[in-house]
A and B are shown apart, each in its own frame.
Chain A
Amino acid sequence: DTEVTQTPKHLVMGMTNKKSLKCEQHMGHRAMYWYKQKAKKPPELMFVYSYEKLSINESVPSRFSPECPNSSLLNLHLHALQPEDSALYLCASSRTDMGFNTGELFFGEGSRLTVL
C-alpha cells in the first residue's frame, strides 16, 4: 500500500473546466513533488515544494497552478488545459528536498487525466 494518496484516480475534463488534483502524505515528509508522465515515457518533474514553499517550477505553463496548504497536502489546480496535457500526474514526497540526492522519493499511484 502506498503512503502517498492521490485523488481522483481518473479525471476527464473539457478545455474550459477548472479541476484540482489532490495529494496527501502522513509520513512527516517536508518535500513534495508533482510529476507528469506520458505513456511509455519517464516521469517529468513539474514542481517541488520544500517546507510548504515552492522551490522549483520547471517552466510549467500557468494553466497548472500548484498549492501546498500544509505539510501533508499538495494540490494541483487545472484550468484551460489542452488535450496534450492528458497524462498521468504523479505526486511524490521525501524527507527533505535533498531527496534527489538520496533518491528516496515516495510516489502515489497517480491521477490519470484526460482532456477532451
Chain B
Amino acid sequence: GNSVTQMEGPVTLSEEAFLTINCTYTATGYPSLFWYVQYPGEGLQLLLKATKADDKGSNKGFEATYRKETTSFHLEKGSVQVSDSAVYFCALPNTGFQKLVFGTGTRLLVSP
C-alpha cells in the first residue's frame, strides 16, 4: 500500500538558516501529498499540499514540490524562525483513500 518515509530528526538549526526535510513516497498512481505541522501542545495543522505531479504547494514561507521522477515531496524554507520549531509530518492517502498515512514525523528545533 501507499507509504511515506521521512528523514529522522531532530533537525537543529539556527534562526535564518535554510531548511530541508526529506520525504519520499511509494504510491499507486499519483495521490495528493501533504505536509502537516504540530506545534508544541497542539493538534496537527495542514501546512501545504500538492494534488498532482510537478505541483508546488506553499504556505507561510514553506514550499514542497511533488516530484514523480524521484517520488519525493521535500519540505523547504529559505529562512527559519524560532516559531517554526515543531514536528512536521509528511502524509498521503492510503491506496483506498480510507485514511491518511503519516510519516514518522521530523522534529525541528530552531535556536535564536
Contacts and interface: CB of A to CB of B under 8 A. Distances in A.
A binds B: yes
Contacts of A2: 42-43
Interface stretch (A14-22, A62-70, A72-80, A107-115): A107-115
A45 B99 CA distance: 7
Contacts of A101: 31-32, 93, 97
Given A41-B105, A42-B103, A100 B97 contact: yes
A32 interface: no
10 contacts: A2-B42, A4-B43, A42-B102, A43-B102, A45-B100, A48-B98, A100-B97, A107-B44, A107-B45, A110-B42
B98 A43 contact: no
A105 B99 contact: no
B49 A109 contact: no
Interface string B7-48: 000000000000000000000000110100000011111100
Q: Is the interface of A mostly helix, strand, loop or mixed?
A: loop
Contacts of B34: 103
B7 to A, nearest CB: 14
A59 interface: no
Interface residues of B, number: 22
Contacts of A58: 99
Interface in A28-45: 40-43, 45
Contacts, number: 59
Interface of B: 31-32, 34, 41-46, 49, 89, 91, 93-94, 97-100, 102-105
Interface of A: 2, 4, 40-43, 45, 48, 56, 58, 90, 92, 98, 100-110
Contact of A105 (B42, B46, B103): B46
Contacts of B94: 100
Nearest to B31: A101
A100 B105 contact: no
